Amino acid sequence: MQPIHVGLLGLGTVGGGTLTVLQQNAAEIARRAGREIIVSHASSRSLRMAPEALNRVTIMDDPFQLVVQPEVDIVVELIGGCTPARELVLQAIAQGKHVVTANKALIALHGNEIFAAAQQHGVTVAFEAAVAGGIPIIKAVREGLAANHIEWMAGIINGTGNFILTEMRDKGRDFAEVLQEAQALGYAEADPTFDVEGVDAAHKLTILAALAFGIPLQFSACYTEGIGQVQRQDVSNAARLGYRIKQLAFTRKTPRGIELRVHPTLIPEKCLLANVDGVMNAVLAQGDMVGQTLHYGPGAGALPTASSVVADIIEVARTLTTDPHNRVPHLAFQPSELADIPVLPMAEVTTAYYLRLTAQNKPGVLAAVADILGEAGISIKAMFQQEPESGTCEVPLVMLTHPVQERQMNAALGRISDLPDIADDIVRLRVESLR
Ligand code: HSE
């Protein structure tokens, strides 16, 4: 059989990793794919690869020339971002080329358009590496769990954010210093605010929700909150209450709509997901037939991500001769079967809460807070107050509540922050039991 020719757009962390995997495991990959897979062309702004790795590769300055090369069968987009990635991918599709991408922003924001174009041209766009790096989670949700109604999914799907929270908790390290290390290790996005603000996780969650519930990709409806507000005292308060703080990406189908949200969350420390540390990622999926399945592995880094990219290349190579209408649908459900279920605004989402208030240490303050919560129908599940540090009359007041609708909690917190003896900077984190 003729070899498959791959054109690589981007030779950065993941592009370089992909070249390494394809070259190092070439024989094993050919055994699996049924034919040789060769990187014939590559385009990159800077060449950091060893020259011998690029011996048989034609380097092109213009990526738009690469996507129209007649001998390229599969275009692998690893440049990231939406511009010019969107145009390049659409041009490749228009040329009848299959596409593999690790670009979560591209899929979350432009996936609906890209998949429609791919369907029109009878080509496949594969994106396993876009979510959770080396974990084959797209395949698991799209195929392995296809018998189920997926009820909810909870994921730690940003390696950088998880690495930062873990180092802060275990070693008391400083946020900025750990972020710098994550950048040096190649985990962080080109713009690391995407990692710490939860945007990267929101891109990935948007994709997972579409696959789980058969809805179009709706990144703009995803609620996102970063980890910058998490302080070391909240991490230790959470531990005292039997929880860990994770940047959780959570999506659930409710009778009123879909919850789609990324925010720092307290989860029970006994839960496996709470013990996913460092750059590791994990996705917990609740299906009505299977129950819970947990998918765990490295969420970032050159070779783990390249492992997913190459799996997609092999999959595309295997399906080249199949009828385009009988391939696995891009978004798991047949395109005509996508559902028009609304994404719920956060005010309508119900969760339990962790609250940390800074109160003046005087009589009646706790009673006033408890009154407001009681009047709002919010029940306190656990509570403690720490002794004031010497020389101050402010005390941290920490509580866990039972589940309540966010609208009710917002109204109560508005009233609490108006109390003269409560400081304005109330810390409010959501809690998920994941049961
Ligand atoms: N910046 C991402 C992360 C890379 O840290 O998870 C993998 O998508």
Across 40-60, average pLDDT: 86
- What residues does 359 pair with on adjacent strands? 395, 422
Q: Is residue 373 part of a domain?
A: yes
CATH of the domain at 359: 3.30.70.260
Q: Is omega for the bond preceding 84 within 30 degrees of 0, making it cis?
A: yes
The 3 state secondary structure assigned to 253-265 is EECCEEEEEEEEE
Distance (Å) of CA 13 to CA 188, 277, 281, 306 = 11, 22, 18, 9
CA nearest neighbour of 138 among 153, 149, 151? 153
d(CA 92, CA 63): 10
- The Å distance, Cα 300 to ligand 1 centre, comes to 5
Lookup result for tokens 């690391």 = 192
Residues sharing a CB contact under 8 Å with residue 430, sequence separation 6 or more, in sequence order? 263, 264, 265, 266, 351, 352, 353, 354
d(CA 272, CA 270): 6
Q: Is residue 199 part of a domain?
A: yes
pLDDT for the residue 48: 74
pLDDT for the residue 127: 98
User: From the centroid of its chain, how far is CA 118?
Assistant: 24
361 and 265: one domain? no
pLDDT for the residue 229: 86
What one-character DSSP code corresponds to residue 57? Answer: -
254 and 274: one domain? yes
- The Å distance, Cα 196 to ligand 1 centre, comes to 10
Q: Is residue 342 part of a domain?
A: no
Q: Is residue 27 part of a domain?
A: yes
pLDDT at 417 over 80: yes
pLDDT for the residue 121: 97
CATH of the domain at 234: 3.30.360.10
Question: What pLDDT digit, counting tens, does each position of 87-130 carry?
Answer: 999 999 999 999 999 999 999 999 999 999 999 999 999 999 99
pLDDT at 317 over 80: yes
155 and 237: one domain? yes
CATH of the domain at 20: 3.40.50.720
pLDDT at 59 over 80: yes
Question: Is the CB of 159 inside a 6 Å radius of any atom of ligand 1?
Answer: yes
d(CA 200, CA 213): 20
54 and 96: one domain? yes
pLDDT for the residue 366: 94
Question: Which domain does 86 fall in, by range?
Answer: 4-134+302-337
pLDDT at 148 over 80: yes
Q: Is residue 260 part of a domain?
A: yes
pLDDT for the residue 304: 96
Contact between 268 and 104 under an 8 Å Cβ cutoff? The reply is: no
287 and 388: one domain? no
pLDDT for the residue 264: 97
Question: Is the CB of 134 inside a 6 Å radius of any atom of ligand 1?
Answer: no
Lookup result for tokens 């990144």 = 219
Provide, rounded to the nearest whole percent, the portion of the chain with pLDDT above 90.
Answer: 87
Where does a domain end: 267, 298, 329?
A: 298
Question: What pLDDT digit, counting tens, does each position of 336-384 carry?
Answer: 999 999 999 999 999 999 999 999 988 999 999 999 999 999 999 999 9
179 and 239: one domain? yes
Residues sharing a CB contact under 8 Å with residue 111, sequence separation 6 or more, in sequence order? 127, 207, 210, 217, 330, 331
Structure tokens at 293: 């399945």
151 and 285: one domain? yes
150 and 294: one domain? yes
Provide, rounded to the nearest whole percent, the portion of the chain with pLDDT above 70.
Answer: 100
Contact between 18 and 24 under an 8 Å Cβ cutoff? The reply is: no
Residue numbers annotated as active site: 204
Q: Is residue 150 part of a domain?
A: yes
**What integer best gives the mean pLDDT of the chain?**
95
Question: Is the CB of 187 inside a 6 Å radius of any atom of ligand 1?
Answer: yes
Domain count, the chain: 3
Where does a domain end: 298, 323, 357?
A: 298
222 and 288: one domain? yes
Where does a domain end: 337, 359, 391?
A: 337
Q: How confident is the model at residue 54 (pLDDT cuts 50, 70, 90)?
A: confident
pTM: 0.95
Return the ligand 1 atom nearest residue 104 CA: 8
282 and 167: one domain? yes
293 and 192: one domain? yes
* φ/ψ bin of 252: left (φ > 0), alpha (ψ from -120 to 50), beta (otherwise): beta
pLDDT at 393 over 90: no
Give the number of other CB atoms < 10 A from CB of residue 384.
Answer: 12
Give the number of C-alpha atoms closer than 13 A to the C-alpha of residue 77, restricted to the C-beta side: 33
Question: Is the CB of 158 inside a 6 Å radius of any atom of ligand 1?
Answer: yes
Contact between 41 and 110 under an 8 Å Cβ cutoff? The reply is: no
Q: Is residue 139 part of a domain?
A: no
Window from 136-145, 162-171, 265-274, 344-353 with minimum mean pLDDT: 162-171
Q: Is residue 283 part of a domain?
A: yes
3-state secondary structure of 146: coil
392 and 421: one domain? yes
